[in-house]
Amino acid sequence: MSCPLIIFAVIGGIPVVAGLIINPENFWIILPLIGWAIGVLIHGLNVFESVNIFGPK
């Protein structure tokens, strides 16, 4: 497991839990987390050179 994925899980989990406790009817926190997850996915693909999105190094 890579460091950005651990950071995403820990830091992203805190507002999810807080949102579920404080206001479970309006679960808006998932929208920014989806954007952040896409960024983490692109970073992981680029680091492990599975897909070279930004061109050759």
13-52: pLDDT as tens digits = 998 999 899 988 988 888 899 999 998 888 888 777 776 6
- Gyration radius (Cα) of the chain, Å: 14
Please tell me the total count of domains within the chain. 1
From CA 42, how far away is CA 13, in angstroms rounded? 20
Whether 55 is covered by a domain: the verdict is: no
Whether 18 is covered by a domain: the verdict is: yes
Question: Is 25:53 a contact under the CB 8 Å cutoff?
Answer: no
Q: Does this model's pTM top 0.85?
A: no
Question: Is 26:18 a contact under the CB 8 Å cutoff?
Answer: no
Q: Which domain holds residue 10?
A: 3-47
